[in-house]
Amino acid sequence: MAATEIDRERVPKHVAIIMDGNGRWATARGLPRLEGHRRGYETVRAIVEASGDFGIQFLTLYTFSTENWRRPKPETDAIMCLIADAARLEVEDLHRKNVKVIVSGRLDELPAEVREELGRDIEVTKDNTGLTLNLAINYGGRREIAEAAQAIARRAAAGEIRPDDVDEELFARHLYSPGLPDPDLFIRTAGEMRVSNFLLWQIAYTEIHVTPVLWPDFTKEDLARAIVDYQNRMRRFGAVVSR
């Protein structure tokens, strides 16, 4: 099993996942697409627990993108209800497991019930010191970068900073979740070979692992395989590194 091959001294600190394939999973079984999302929610629960078991410190899940609003309204409404239900039902277990919940994205544009449930999760778990679970909801990478630029421009116009003060470190402090380290490992399920507007600033040197496994079928062992794949790579960050 891949889990036994993991070097516990070199586990990626931050793992980011695009959870793709829920709809395809359902369609292949003759089920409504929402059933795929429900099954995907069960996978989230298992992978959050597995991440804690493996010693991952930060887990970012691409839960709902800004582009997902283009889907049929009945589907987006159902997904919002599922997110609200999950936030309400899982908070006690997450708190008990010392998981800290944060959210990246535009919460103010979400339905009131979703905002309230996510806000409660954030408040209840804010002092926890275990795995940080970052839910990217109503998130878009280009929009995040544009809003960071706007915030910096406003500060410059107000005389708080000079243009020459703007560097990578200052820019990163204006992103949605400035306290998070950049992801070490980026996983995409369902075999798609693109980043889909996810963490565009943060993944500059992130290792990418693509698996054909659909998200509802993704298991702890699949996560372990991705970690082992990551550990078998040489991360150079643009430099020449000798073994």
Domains, the chain: 9-140+182-231 (3.40.1180.10)
pLDDT, tens digit (0-9, with 9 covering 90-100), for 67-116: 999 999 999 999 999 999 999 999 999 999 999 999 999 999 999 999 99
User: What is the per-residue pLDDT for 238?
Assistant: 58
Q: Identify the residue with better confidence: 240 or 16.
A: 16
What pTM, to 2 d.p., does this model score?
0.94
CA distances from 61 to 27, 133, 211 (A): 23, 8, 16
Contacts of 191 (CB under 8 A, 6+ apart): 210, 211, 212
**Average pLDDT taken over every residue of the chain:** 95
For range 133-147, the mean pLDDT: 98
User: What is the per-residue pLDDT for 80?
Assistant: 97
pLDDT, tens digit (0-9, with 9 covering 90-100), for 208-241: 999 999 999 999 999 999 999 999 997 766 555 5
Catalytic residue numbers, as ranges? 20, 68
User: What is the per-residue pLDDT for 188?
Assistant: 98
User: What is the per-residue pLDDT for 3?
Assistant: 82
d(CA 215, CA 22): 6
User: 9 burial class (0-12, 13-18, 19+ CB within 10 angstroms)?
Assistant: exposed
